[in-house]
Each structure stands twice: as C-alpha cells, then as structure tokens.
Amino acid sequence: MAAERLSVIQGHIKGSNVFMEKSSSNNHRESHKVPQRRQDFMKWNGWGYRDSKFLYDLDKDVIHFVGARYPLANKKFPSFKTWLKTAFGITEDYHCKPKFEIKTEDLPVPVVDKDFLKDIKNLKVFYTDDPQDRLFRSHGHTMREVFLLRQGSFNRIPDLVVWPTSHNDVIEIVKAANKHNIVIIPFGGGTSVSGALECPVDEKRMIVSMDTTEMNKILWVDKKNHTAHIEAGILGKDLECKLAEYGFCTGHEPDSAEFSSLGGWVATRASGMKRNIYGNIEDMLVHVRMVTSQGVVEKNCQVPRISSGPDVHHFILGSEGTFGVITEVTLKIRPLPECKKYGSFIFPDFETGVAFMREVARQGLKPASVRLMDNDQIMFGQALKPEAESILSSLFDSVKMFYVIRIKGFELTRVVGLTLLLEGNREDTQLLENKLLALGNRFGGVYAGEDNGKRGYLLTYVIAYIRDLIFDFGVFAESFETSVPWDRVLDLCRNVKARILREAEAHGLPHQPFVSYRVTQTYDVGACIYFYMGINGRGLPDPIHVYEELEAAARDEILACGGSVSHHHGIGKIRKRWLKQSVSGVGLGMMRAVKEYVDPNNVFANGNLMI
C-alpha cells in the first residue's frame, strides 16, 4: 500500500509521464481492446452493434428486436407497428432499404503526402488507408450523415487513419502534421450528433483521422483523494467496468455511454443521465492534458480549485477538436453505490409533472435521475412493451390502467410519466424515496412501480436503434435538446411544437410530423429538454432538406423562448449559425483569437464552432 500511495503522489507532482514510462506494468488497468476495424462489430451505416437491431417480420406483421446484448433481446412488440402507422403514416408497401455496402471504387481517392507518411512510419505508429476504415471515421450519427451512408454519397472522407497509443505519440503526430501542413480530426467513439466529425468538403490538404481508442488505460487511481487519471480514448462502458474493479465509478452515463469516449465527453461538455448527484463532465474534471500545435496545455497541479486567471480547462471543455487532441484526463470518482432503486409516477398532465420536478429541485432532493415524458412518449413507451410473458403480467397492466383512468380520472390523452433512479447508501436512499413518494402524492401522481422506472431508464440505450428501422419505411427522425429557465419550460415546449407543425404545413407535408418532448435533467435554475421529431419523407424530393428546415425553425423558436443553443450535444457544424447569437460577437472573437494562437496553421481544421 505504501508503494502504491507513493506512486500516485509522484504522479500528482510530476504529471503522468512517470506512469507512461511504466506502460508495460500491471499497474495500468487497460480496457478491452476496441477493434481497429470497428465496422466488423458495429454497423457501418447505422447505430450500435451489428448483431442488435429492430426488424420487421413481413410474414408475421410484427416488429421484434434481435441480439442478446439488451433486456429487449428477442422480444416481439405487437403494438409497435400500429403505433408507427399512427405516428408517421407508414405503409408496408414502401421500403427505403440502404445500400448493402459502399464499394471502394465509389469512395474518394485519398490525398497522400509521402513525406508525412514517411515520418509516421518512423514513429512506428499504426496507420491505414483502408477505404472502409476511412469511411467509418468520416461521420458521426446525425440523421443526415446516416442517410448519406445509406445512400452511399459521401464526398470527402479522411485520407488516413492513425492510432496513437500514448500522449507522447500524439505530440509527435501533431508535430509532423504541422511540419507537412496536414489536417487532423480527432476521433473517439464516433457518436457525435452535431456533424463535428464530417470532413470539410473543400479541404484540399491530406486529412488524418486520429483514432484515440488505443489510448484506453487507467493510469492510476488515487483512493485517498477519490481521483483517477485516465487516457482519453477509453470508452464509457469500459471505463466504468475497470473502475468497478477498484470499487469506484464516475457516475457519468450519457445515452451513448456504451460507445462514446472520455475525450469526447470533455470535447463536447457532455452531460449524463445521473448528473443530479455526479455532475456534468465539467464538474467531474480535475485535470486534463491537450496537445496543440503550440505544445501541451495543462495545469501544474491536480487540486479541487485554483485561482489563476481564466480557467484553461474551460478552453478545452467544449472545444470540439478545434484546438488540439485531448490525451489524458483526471476525474473525480465515487465509491460504487451500495443501493440502486428505480421508481416511476404517472401524473395527470405535463404541467403537473413539471411542477413536481421543479419542487424536487427547489427542495434540493437528489435522485440520480428524474425524467418526465410527455403523453406522446408515454404512448410510444406503451407501444414498445413486449408481448406479455404471462397472463398475470397482462392482468396487472390492465388493473393499473383501470385504476389510473377510471378511479383517478386521468385522461389517457393527457397523462405523462416520470422515471426515477436513486443511488447511495441504503438508509439515505430509503429516506429519499419516502420523500419523493410523499411529494408525488401531494402533486396528485400515481406511483407506477419500480419495474416501469427501470424499464424506462434502460430503454434509453435501445431507442437509437429505432431510427434505423423507421428509415426503412421512409421516416426521417432525430432528437435535439436545449436548456431553459424553469419559468419558461412549459411555454418553450408548447411554442416549439406549434412552430414545427406550422412549418410542416407550410412545406406541404402529407402527414403531420411526430413531435414529443421530455425533461431529462434538472438544475436549481432550470432544466434540460429533449425534443424528438420525425417526418414521413415519402414523396418529398429532398426529405433531408425539409427536415433540416423544420429543425432550424425549432431552434429559432427555442432561442426566442430563452432556451440555449445546446445543453450538451455541442455546436459542431449544424448549429454554427446560432453561435454568435448565443455567445455575442465579442465572445466569438475571443474563441477565434485562442484558435489562431494555439493552431496557427489550422491543423485542426474540422470546421466546427468558430472555424
């Protein structure tokens, strides 16, 4: 123990280089290796694992989920098809199947700088110009990007992929890029939903995708100070698994936690479902190293707070790959919770649900997660219920619905649902649960049980798979988010939905768009709101353009109602037009001044944010 403690203290004083020198040591907890050919186990033209998907069985006219990775594995959803017909107006006779593959000859020919390649070879860093590896790292997961993949029409992709294995590798690659005027686009989990990973179409220089997932080790864990120093390429799920071996966790669970990387969380100012008790990524961050064209930026100590002028960490947080490559991060960690409990409520309407959430925040109650879904999402959730596995299960559902509708008098077209997750020691968790139950009753809610809460929480991880299914039926759907003060939550939700419906009518859409919303994170002064929108694109000459016009109108309405340009998805390319309005012209100028200093040759020319 004494030797371990001394090693950790040494790391605090000298930075992580002392640990890098011991890279072969068993002290480093390395996550499972992410295959370099990720397309062999992940979809190249959709979300998630290749072996997991929603499928429509035409013969049996039923939708089911295949794959054994999720609780919904191999379940059938007898009501889902009917819901899709009602929500989007789909028909069985229309299928928009994706290309089976994009052939090598259909991909852009790579731009090659032979002198740069020679330097990379001398560094002994693994690299490839394999067309499919380049394609996989040419995009994130916006609806537009996935649609282009399905149609096989990407105009610009990276020319080379490199895999550094350490902070020092990144330093040398960035030096070589500056020497030869090469573009670098950092790539972690590839889950961006802001267009941040797309290559600028007009970029003539060689573009290198720097895949950081070989940098996936926990370099040290400080059990005394509850911190861990971690390489930035580690994926979220792997990070939690490895920290659990020490008895700790970060508690950071974005919807993309299975596939997104630690460096990506920092680069986008990410937020997770359990931020109420663990905080957002900026609250967890103790120290960070970033390699820029001018050198390494980092603080000289790992302390809880420092007064040393403007915080350089806040230049790095949210920088979206425009300043440099995030290589190592020190995070606050927490002991694994002793107890985890789920719960759920049904409220008579959205207004009552928001009032309940506001009171939870006002009283300082801290469930790990509390999320409110509007009526459309409740109906969607009901449609995603698997067929009853027993008569008893079906009977219980009927009894609960009878009580809510007939006894309590709730209107089926107005009811909303709320899910809860509580974490901590048993005594505190029980006390919090009792307070929340009492508060829910005070606001006229009906407790809907632990199973519904758990199901609603875990459903988050499979919702993204639905888009691939409905694409096949010509439906174009996406989510977007914002943050807003408490007194504007209701107006913003109503106004944005009304604006979308008006714009859809003006565009002559044959079927009304599906628009729903949920409140996903709460703060003392406001909340995060998620919108889900989908349109039936059948018969439209350019459905992507129509969808983007509707979403742009929604974003204009969000800002007009006092909401933010983004709560945690970031700016990327698709929200650049609102950046100046959001931070002021002077603020935008400050960002550009930093960019010009740290990256004078514009090596990190991904086109995001202020670029």
The whole-angstrom separation of Cα 565 and Cα 592 is 19
Whether 517 sits among the annotated catalytic residues: the reply is no
Write out the H or E segment, with its range, that includes residue 248. strand 248-249
Q: Which residue has the tokens 């807003």?
A: 484
Q: Are 510 and 539 in contact (CB under 8 A)?
A: yes
159's tokens: 């020319």
Residue 194 corresponds to which amino acid?
A: S
The whole-angstrom separation of Cα 592 and Cα 586 is 10
What are the E-state strand segments in 408-556? Answer: 416-424, 446-447, 475-485, 514-522, 526-536
307's tokens: 């007064």
Contacts of residue 499, defined as CB under 8 A and 6 or more positions apart, other chains included, come to 553, 554, 556, 557
Dihedral through CA 116, CA 121, CA 127, CA 129, nearest 10?
60
Q: DSSP characters for 167-212?
A: HHHHHHHHHHHHHHT-EEEEESS---SSSTTSPPTT--S-EEEEE-
Dihedral through CA 110, CA 112, CA 117, CA 119, nearest 10?
-140
- What are the contacts of 547-552 at 24+ separation with CB within 8 A? 547/143, 547/476, 547/478, 548/144, 548/574, 549/503, 549/507, 550/500, 550/503, 550/504, 550/507, 550/513, 551/478, 551/480, 552/577
559's tokens: 């800002």
The whole-angstrom separation of Cα 55 and Cα 366 is 38
Alpha-carbon distances of 409 from 32, 382, 445, rounded to whole Å? 52, 19, 12
Given the residues 457, 465, 517, 530, select the one marked as catalytic.
Answer: 530
Show which residues are catalytic: 530
